[in-house]
Amino acid sequence: MKRIKIRQVLQTQPQEQIITIKGWVRTFRNNQFLSVNDGSTLNNLQAVIDFENTPESELKRLTTGAAVSITGKLVASQGKGQSVELIAQSFEILGDSDAEKFPLQPKKHSLEFLREIAHLRFRTNTFSAVFRVRHALAFSIHQFFHERGFVYLHTPIITASDAEGAGEMFRISTLDPKNPPLNDAGEIDYSQDFFGRQANLTVSGQLEAELGAMALSEVYTFGPTFRAENSNTTRHLAEFWMIEPEVAFNDLNDNMDLAEDLLKYVIRFALDNCAEDIEFLRTRLLEEEKQKPQNERSEMDLVQKLQFCLDNSFERLTYTEAITILMESPQNKKKKFQYPVTGWGTDLQSEHERYLVEKHFKKPVILTDYPKHIKAFYMRMNEDNNTVRAMDILFPGIGEIVGGSQREERLDILEARMKEMHIPTEEMYWYLDTRRFGTAPHAGFGLGFERLVLFVTGMTNIRDVIAFPRSPKNCEF
Ligand code: 4AD
Ligand code: MG
């Protein structure tokens, strides 16, 4: 018999119809009530086992974690907590689970512990909810761009360029590390390497997206990106996913509008399509907040926070205005920041970003027009020759969620800027060619996907919203 997913079973009118479900045992009570989950929903289906007519040896195999197939009659539930239940007529153990050794017991486990068994944590309510929400967000991102006529461009993962000019890249090589070929100067001779040159995992698909935008007008990439920065924080991964739209003829204002529309669209989609999972995560977060002192608890619950984000325009201001606010903030005056704000030109730390969002404006903020020396080479220079058309979107509890800019489309200014920043203009001829042949104003941004998932799920550590996190000294599974 064809198996029906539990999500569908739970929405079905029970009429004693015979159905088959398959899934994994969560609990087995009183040798009779078997709770089964198949990942299609947070909810388990209760199957009632005919224990009198089942050999003891079979009943013993219904342990937490075992994979089962059950055929039975769907009836209205007698017990509380579920609308339907399955009166089992037969069941088959598809895969036994050694209950003694199974690390997931029917009790609360800490997220730290679950991180150590990331290969099994999908089987918990929290992680199955997180990954269903993650899926919905990814899907809605594609839907958003598709509805607007964007072309999904698959930019390369292996590149020879450093898009951000920050040099935090993972090298790719097939040379023998014990005995690499050397050139006359005694350095490793990458001309003998697989690609005939040094190659890396990409830090961003932006530069290639720009090439696409100069013909297709509106493109986006959505793929994995890699950063070899040694940041062991709850907001950084060495491998993360990024959404990067790039749009010809857009200026910075259009860019801000697009980013705000995108964020609101996908948050709304998650609220509309993942209500059950988000409700579960809301409750989970409330429980977690109870552990904190009163004054550190969030004023809003998860759903209120998401709704608030939809109902309010993001505050837009310049970096310069933000610095004034930060300089004059009680936090700064009382020297409460770990990194004091000393004046114009300092790079903002996450504590400053979060002050602006959580304490000062109490809503998402878009900062624009940063000093050129703290931003990448490709951002469009302002008239003042000192600031660039950059934008960062800052979110409560997260800090920077989006980074982007209007791009420098003027060849002479771009070249001068690259030289100033020691970026090899000859090697990047292909990037500069777009400015030589029909250059046009354009703008784009990068949305960190895991930071978005963090925000929507209310999880607090980025390692808990990606299946198998990669961070310094951590590449298990
Ligand atoms: O600000 P970033 O570095 O911008 C770029 O890479 C541009 N090329 C994007 C563009 O304009 N097309 O990164 C963009 C976003 C950040 O705002 C953050 O959300 C996320 O990517 N991000 C990270 N997420 C997790 N772990 C890391 N190590 C991240 N670094 C950046
Ligand atoms: Mg950034």
| pLDDT above 90 (res 111) | yes
CA of 402 relative to ligand 2 center, distance in Å? 7
CA of 308 relative to ligand 1 center, distance in Å? 24
CA–CA separation, 72 and 74 (whole Å) = 7
CA of 374 relative to ligand 1 center, distance in Å? 14
Q: Does the Cβ of 404 fall within 6 Å of ligand 1?
A: yes
Nearest CA to ligand 1 atom 25: 236
Q: Does the Cβ of 236 fall within 6 Å of ligand 1?
A: yes
N-terminal to C-terminal alpha carbon distance within the chain: 35
CA of 347 relative to ligand 2 center, distance in Å? 11
Strands of 199-201's sheet in order across: 158-159, 199-201, 171-172
What the chain holds in terms of domains, given with CATH numbers, is: 6-106 (2.40.50.140), 123-168+203-464 (3.30.930.10)
For 131, the enclosing helix (H) or strand (E) is helix 125-147
CA of 392 relative to ligand 2 center, distance in Å? 7
CA–CA separation, 354 and 20 (whole Å) = 50
| pLDDT above 80 (res 273) | yes
φ, ψ of residue 2 in degrees (nearest 5): -70, 135
The mean pLDDT value for 92-109 works out to: 92
| Atom number in ligand 1 closest to CA 242 | 21
Nearest CA to ligand 1 atom 31: 448
Going 47 to 52 to 53 to 57, the CA torsion angle's sign is positive
Q: Does the Cβ of 399 fall within 6 Å of ligand 1?
A: no
| pLDDT above 80 (res 453) | yes
For 237, the enclosing helix (H) or strand (E) is none
| pLDDT above 80 (res 183) | yes
Nearest alpha carbon to residue 124 among 135, 139, 113? 113
| Atom number in ligand 1 closest to CA 231 | 28
- Residue 5 neighbours by CB under 8 Å, 6+ apart: 21, 38, 40
- Contact between 172 and 228 under an 8 Å Cβ cutoff? The reply is no
Q: 433-443, pLDDT tens digit by residue?
A: 999 999 999 99
**pLDDT the model gives residue 166:** 72
**pLDDT the model gives residue 365:** 98
The mean pLDDT value for 133-149 works out to: 98
The mean pLDDT value for 381-403 works out to: 97
SS3 of 152, please?
strand
CA–CA separation, 286 and 121 (whole Å) = 21
CA of 243 relative to ligand 1 center, distance in Å? 9
For a mutational test of ligand 1's pocket, the pick from 242, 377, 398, i.e. the residue with the most ligand atoms closer than 8 A to its C-beta, is 242
Q: 307-356, pLDDT tens digit by residue?
A: 999 999 999 999 999 999 999 999 999 999 999 999 999 999 999 999 99
Nearest CA to ligand 1 atom 4: 403
Q: Does the Cβ of 407 fall within 6 Å of ligand 1?
A: no
- Residue 148 neighbours by CB under 8 Å, 6+ apart: 218
Q: Does the Cβ of 444 fall within 6 Å of ligand 1?
A: yes
For a mutational test of ligand 1's pocket, the pick from 169, 231, 240, 461, i.e. the residue with the most ligand atoms closer than 8 A to its C-beta, is 240
For a mutational test of ligand 1's pocket, the pick from 159, 392, 451, 474, i.e. the residue with the most ligand atoms closer than 8 A to its C-beta, is 451
